[in-house]
C-alpha cells in the first residue's frame, strides 16, 4: 500500500494529537504551525472522560501526572478570601490537571519519528481535487497530500477560507483573561474562585512552576482579542475596578506578564466538519469554550478518533473514515455545547440580590440531593461507547524532525 500523506495545520493539542496518531498508523505527516516556534504557555486544562483513555494509549499518562499543577481542590471564597463552599473532589479540579503548554509540549516530545513540523509558514492557499489536496504555504512551499487536517483553534483562518458560510460563531458575551503572576505566601494549593456583582469573577490557581495562574472573567459584549494588549489591559483594569480581593494584585501581575491570554468566549458550531480531503479538528471545528468545558480533552480525543477511523479505509477516498470520525465525535461535542440559558446569569450575577441567590444555590448544590446536578457540569468527554479501534504500524516513538 502506498504511504498516505497528511498535512496538519496547527501544532497545539488537536494538531499534535492528530499528527501523533496519523504517524502511528503509517501516514507521512507534515505539521504547519503559524507561530515561529512551539507555542508554550496557556493556563490550566484538564484531561477527562475518554481523554484519559487516549492519553493512556499514547503512553503519556505518567508524563502528564508528573507535570500535574499540584492543585488539590476547588473552593469558593468571599471578598476577604474566607472559604464559603468547598467543591467535591474530582469536581472542578480533575485528577489530571496540567497546563496547556505542558500538555502540548508532552505530545510534541513524544511524536513518532518522521513527523515534520514547519514553523512560521502557514497555509496561504488550498486546491481541492478528487484524488489530492494541494496546499501552498505563505513562503511558497507546495505540498500535495491525501488529507488536510485543520486544527488551528477557534479563530482558524483556513477553516474560514474553506468552509465560508458554514461557520456559526456564537459569542457568549464573556471575556476570560488568563495569565501567570508571581506566587505569594498566601497562595495555597487550591483553586480559589471569587464571584462578585457586576458579572465578574476572580480566580487563583497553583501551578508546579512556582508561579500562580490567575483568571479574570466577566460579562462583556466587546471582543478584547481585537484590541492591542495595552488597550485590552487598560479596559480590563476599568472593568475590575473596586472588585477587591486579589484583583488589584492580578491586574498588576498581568501588566508585567508576557503570558497573558485573552479569550472572548465563542462557540463554533458547524453542520459538517469535513469535505473531500479536508477535515477540521479541535476548537477549529467545535470550540466549546471553558463554559462548556473539556476543550482540551476533546482536542486530544479527536486526533485519535480521526486516525482510527481512517486506519481501516486504505488509500481510496477518505470520506467514509471522515464520516465515521464526525459521527463518533459529534455526541461528545453536543453534550457540552448545549448550555442552559440560566448558566450565564448564575455564573456571573450582576446585582447584590443575584449574588445572594447564587450564594444560597452554591450551598444547596453541595447537598447530596443536588450533587448529581453539580457533577453534570464537570462531566465532559464521557461516553459509554468504546473508542474506535486503531491499526498501529509500530512506528517508533522519538523526536520530531
User: In angstroms, rounded to a whole number, what is the distance separating the alpha carbons of residues 95 and 92?
Assistant: 10
| Minimum distance from residue 346 beta carbon to ligand FAD (Å) | 20
Residues that bind ligand FAD (CB under 6 A): 9-15, 32-35, 39, 41-43, 45, 100, 122-123, 151-153, 156-158, 178, 261, 282-283, 290, 295-296, 299
User: In angstroms, rounded to a whole number, what is the distance separating the alpha carbons of residues 210 and 187?
Assistant: 11
Angle at 88 between CA 103 and CA 49, to 5 degrees: 40
Q: What interhelical angle do 247-255 and 229-239 show, nearest 10?
A: 170
User: In angstroms, rounded to a whole number, what is the distance separating the alpha carbons of residues 295 and 159?
Assistant: 18
Closest listed residue to residue 216, CA positions, set 183, 182, 249? 249
Phi, psi of 145 (to 5 degrees): -135, 165
| Minimum distance from residue 13 beta carbon to ligand FAD (Å) | 4
User: In angstroms, rounded to a whole number, what is the distance separating the alpha carbons of residues 26 and 21?
Assistant: 9
- How many residues in the chain? 401
The smaller minimum CB distance to ligand FAD, of residues 100 and 274, is found at 100
The smaller minimum CB distance to ligand FAD, of residues 41 and 49, is found at 41
Q: Is 191 exposed, middle or buried (0-12, 13-18, 19+ CB in 10 A)?
A: buried
| Minimum distance from residue 123 beta carbon to ligand FAD (Å) | 6
The smaller minimum CB distance to ligand FAD, of residues 136 and 313, is found at 136
| Minimum distance from residue 150 beta carbon to ligand FAD (Å) | 8
Q: 324 with 388: CB under 8 angstroms?
A: yes
Question: First vs last Cα of the chain: how many Å apart?
Answer: 24
The smaller minimum CB distance to ligand FAD, of residues 296 and 364, is found at 296
The smaller minimum CB distance to ligand FAD, of residues 42 and 199, is found at 42
CA of residue 215 relative to chain centroid, distance: 15
Q: 151 with 12: CB under 8 angstroms?
A: yes
| Minimum distance from residue 259 beta carbon to ligand FAD (Å) | 8
CA of residue 120 relative to chain centroid, distance: 21
The smaller minimum CB distance to ligand FAD, of residues 258 and 384, is found at 258
The smaller minimum CB distance to ligand FAD, of residues 84 and 155, is found at 155
| Minimum distance from residue 370 beta carbon to ligand FAD (Å) | 26
The smaller minimum CB distance to ligand FAD, of residues 15 and 349, is found at 15
Place of cell 457586576: 198
| Minimum distance from residue 158 beta carbon to ligand FAD (Å) | 6
Q: 358 with 349: CB under 8 angstroms?
A: yes
| Minimum distance from residue 350 beta carbon to ligand FAD (Å) | 24
User: In angstroms, rounded to a whole number, what is the distance separating the alpha carbons of residues 259 and 50?
Assistant: 30
| Minimum distance from residue 293 beta carbon to ligand FAD (Å) | 9
The smaller minimum CB distance to ligand FAD, of residues 352 and 400, is found at 400
| Minimum distance from residue 394 beta carbon to ligand FAD (Å) | 26
User: In angstroms, rounded to a whole number, what is the distance separating the alpha carbons of residues 215 and 100?
Assistant: 14
Q: 21 with 304: CB under 8 angstroms?
A: yes
The smaller minimum CB distance to ligand FAD, of residues 79 and 343, is found at 343
Q: 143 with 30: CB under 8 angstroms?
A: yes
Closest listed residue to residue 11, CA positions, set 130, 117, 164? 117
User: Which residue's Cβ lies closest to ligand FAD?
Assistant: 282
Which grid coordinates are listed for 45? 486544562
Amino acid at each position: 500500500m502506498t504511504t498516505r500523506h497528511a498535512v496538519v495545520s496547527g501544532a497545539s493539542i488537536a494538531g499534535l494529537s492528530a499528527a501523533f496518531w496519523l504517524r502511528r498508523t503509517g501516514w507521512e505527516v507534515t505539521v504547519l504551525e503559524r507561530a515561529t516556534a512551539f507555542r508554550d504557555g496557556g493556563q490550566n486544562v484538564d484531561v477527562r472522560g475518554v481523554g484519559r483513555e487516549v492519553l493512556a494509549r499514547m503512553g503519556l499518562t505518567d508524563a502528564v501526572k508528573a507535570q500535574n499543577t499540584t492543585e488539590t481542590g476547588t473552593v469558593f471564597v468571599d471578598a476577604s478570601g474566607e472559604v464559603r463552599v468547598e467543591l467535591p473532589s474530582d469536581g472542578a479540579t480533575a485528577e489530571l490537571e496540567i497546563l496547556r503548554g505542558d500538555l502540548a509540549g508532552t505530545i510534541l516530545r513524544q511524536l513518532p519519528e518522521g513527523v515534520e513540523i514547519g514553523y512560521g509558514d502557514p497555509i496561504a492557499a488550498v486546491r481541492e481535487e478528487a484524488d489530492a489536496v494541494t496546499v501552498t504555504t505563505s513562503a511558497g512551499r507546495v505540498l500535495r497530500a491525501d488529507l488536510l487536517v485543520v486544527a488551528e483553534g477557534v479563530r482558524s483562518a483556513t477553516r474560514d477560507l474553506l468552509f465560508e458560510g458554514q461557520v456559526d460563531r456564537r459569542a457568549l458575551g464573556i471575556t476570560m483573561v488568563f495569565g501567570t503572576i508571581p506566587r505569594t505566601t498566601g497562595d495555597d494549593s487550591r483553586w480559589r474562585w471569587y464571584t462578585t456583582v457586576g458579572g465578574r469573577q476572580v480566580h487563583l490557581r497553583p501551578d508546579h512552576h512556582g508561579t500562580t495562574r490567575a483568571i479574570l472573567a466577566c460579562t462583556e459584549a466587546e471582543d478584547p482579542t481585537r484590541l492591542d494588549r495595552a488597550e485590552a489591559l487598560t479596559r480590563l483594569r476599568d472593568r475590575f475596578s473596586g472588585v477587591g480581593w486579589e484583583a488589584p494584585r492580578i491586574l498588576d501581575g498581568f501588566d508585567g506578564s508576557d503570558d497573558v491570554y485573552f479569550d472572548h468566549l465563542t462557540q463554533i458550531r458547524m453542520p459538517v466538519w469535513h469535505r473531500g480531503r479536508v477535515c477540521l479538528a479541535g476548537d477549529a471545528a467545535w470550540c466549546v469554550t471553558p463554559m462548556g468545558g473539556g476543550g482540551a480533552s476533546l482536542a486530544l480525543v479527536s486526533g485519535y478518533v480521526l486516525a482510527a477511523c481512517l486506519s481501516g479505509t486504505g488509500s481510496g477516498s477518505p470520506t467514509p473514515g471522515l464520516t465515521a470520525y464526525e459521527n463518533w465525535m459529534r455526541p461528545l461535542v453536543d453534550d457540552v455545547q448545549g448550555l442552559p440559558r440560566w448558566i450565564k446569569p448564575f455564573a456571573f450575577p450582576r446585582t447584590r440580590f443575584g449574588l445572594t441567590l447564587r450564594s444560597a444555590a452554591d450551598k444547596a448544590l453541595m447537598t447530596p440531593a443536588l450533587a448529581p446536578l453539580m457533577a453534570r457540569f464537570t462531566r465532559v468527554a464521557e461516553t459509554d461507547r468504546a473508542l474506535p479501534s486503531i491499526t498501529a504500524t509500530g512506528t517508533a516513538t522519538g523526536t520530531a524532525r
